[in-house]
Every structure is written in C-alpha cells, then in structure tokens.
Structure 1
C-alpha cells in the first residue's frame, strides 16, 4: 500500500525467507510501485525481519535504486499497513468461509475496495501518530 492506493495482493503458501521475499518484491512490489508512481521516486518501508535485511534483498534494492526507510523491528502505531489491514479485516468480520479457497475472493474484494483517498489519509496522519508515540515515550498509543 502507498499514499497512492493499494497494489495487488500476493497470497503466499510457504514460509517467507529471503528468496521468497525477493520474488515478492520483484513480481509484486516493484510492478505495483511502477504502476502507482511511474518514474517518480518513493521510499519503501519494511521492518527488520530476517528476509528484509538479507544481503540479497539489500543488493536488490540497491540494484533497482529503491530507497528503503530505516525502520526499527517493532514500532507501535507507526506502520500504515496495519491500519489498512484493519480496514480490510473489518469488511470480512461476518464471513464464515469453509476453507481457504472460499476466503480468497472476499479478501481480494475487501482489499481492492480500499480507496486511494483512504490510503492517502492514513499516510497523511502518520506525523500525528509519530508525535503521539514520542509523547508516550515509545509505548503504544490509542492508535
């Protein structure tokens, strides 16, 4: 997700290691960013999971000239994607699928219904969230 909207979902059936993460970046994130931003610069945010900090992942970002935001492993209230997942989950709250296949289409519909305006508002609210976390001395806030 970005301030310009959401990209495609990528359903993963395996554990995420560096190789899987790099495939996701190559086949989903980079094409999505190209579609959302074209040639404009953007800053990519991720946390410090092992797959994210692997040498091959860092090399890929350097090769593709993608700026990655320095980001702590777990920072409460400051990851916009968590708020987007909350929106998507809220739309699925009353579902009772019988299996994963029955759940996939509603997840995709919920995800694609998230508007660029919602994403932009979330990104624009992050300075306020940052101030709240600083005021709370790093502990979780009402967000």
Structure 2
C-alpha cells in the first residue's frame, strides 16, 4: 500500500441522462402481447449523455471535470485535464507521484507523452482492456447509482451535470480509500487468473 498510495487513478466516464436498464418483464394475458399498455416509451440514446473525467487517490480526489464540446482529443486532454488538474494535484501526493491513465488514444498520443515527460510526471504502464484493474471504475458505478437514486431525478443535461458534481463532492472518501486498498488483492487475483477475467 505504500506504493499504491503514490498513484492517482484517473479515467473518463460517460453518463446517460436516461439510463436504459434493458428488458423489463411484465405479466400479461394470452392475446395481450401487443397491447399499448405493455410497452414503455424509451428515449433514443438515453436522451443525451455527459462525459466526465476524475481522479482518485488515498485520502483525496481531483475535481470532477465535465467534458463539453465534443470528444477528448490529445490537445484538450493536455490543456483541460493535465495542465488544469493533474499537474496542480501532483504535489499533494508528493515526489513519488505516479499517474495512472488507460490507453485511450488521447492519453497515448505522442504530444501527451512529450508533455508528461516535460513536466516530470511518470505514467504507470497499463495493460489494454483492463477496467477490472482500475479502482475508479467502482467509483463511477457508485456515482451513477447515487445520481440515479437522487430525487427528483435529473430531467436535462444541465441538471445531470449539476447532480454529478454534487454527488462527486459528497462521495465519502473512506469508501474511495477502501476501494483503492483493494489493489493488492486485485493484483493477486489477476496473477492467479493469468491475466484473465476477474470478479472485479
């Protein structure tokens, strides 16, 4: 844990306005299969979505960033995330700070690697397609559940953004720390699975 407490785990997450949970089972009588009352109106593509970025470490978290205006490019990642949030956050962790980011195209771009090298931020090597190893995935799940249970639920993207910011600030740090403390167990599980799927 002395080593894991030096890591800032980061990632982006997309949150749908209207979360579609899949099939819903209903009881109906014979011959009522296509009656209108047996159908639920859905909103195409969840009624819109918001992309957010955040980072977690033992004892703290970054601000939640709402990514607006299109996809995350390498230039935007440097300007809006690394310069504004990661570099100022690094002194909180200390001289042994390590950034964990996945292998998304915006993260692995040469310009991003050059920028991180220039500012002296080491990046943890991360295997592709390994969300089960990143503890922030559990934090995203927790955040989505808390926003979904909020009353009244968000009705538009502006309300969704405000709800995400509010619930991010209110997430208990103890829960985040407990999730990060699972890293040694996660690594043991991955080794036993020889890199295969795990329960995480």
Asked if 1:30 corresponds to 2:80, the answer is no
Which structure dedicates a bigger proportion of its chain to helix? 1
**What is the CA deviation profile of residues 36-72 of structure 1, one whole-angstrom value per residue up to 9, with x for unaligned ones?**
33x4321110111111111111111111111100111
1:98 to 1:31, Cα distance in 2 relative to 1, 3 A: same
Which structure is richer in relative contact order (CA contacts within 8 A, separation 6 or more)?
1
CA distance in 1, matches of 2:143, 2:157: 16
Structural RMSD (CA): 1.6
Give the TM-score normalised by structure 1: 0.88
Question: Which residue in 1 is equivalent to 2:77?
Answer: 21
SS at match of 1:11: strand
SS at match of 1:68: coil
Kindly state the Cα deviation for residue 33 of structure 1 after the two structures are TM-superposed. Answer: 3.1
Asked if 1:73 corresponds to 2:97, the answer is no
Kindly state the Cα deviation for residue 8 of structure 1 after the two structures are TM-superposed. Answer: 0.4
**Match of residue 178, structure 2, among 110, 115, 121:** 121
Asked if 1:110 corresponds to 2:167, the answer is yes
Where does structure 2 lack aligned partners over 5 or more consecutive residues? 1-55
1:90 to 1:26, Cα distance in 2 relative to 1, 3 A: same
Look at both structures and tell me which one has the larger radius of gyration over its CA atoms: 2
CA distance in 2, matches of 1:41, 1:69: 12
Give the TM-score normalised by structure 2: 0.65
- After the TM superposition, which residues 52-67 of structure 1 pair with which residues of structure 2 at under 5 Å, given as runs? 52-67=107-122
CA distance in 1, matches of 2:157, 2:78: 25
**What is the CA deviation profile of residues 2-29 of structure 1, one whole-angstrom value per residue up to 9, with x for unaligned ones?**
1222110111112011101111111122
Asked if 1:88 corresponds to 2:143, the answer is yes
CA distance in 1, matches of 2:97, 2:176: 15
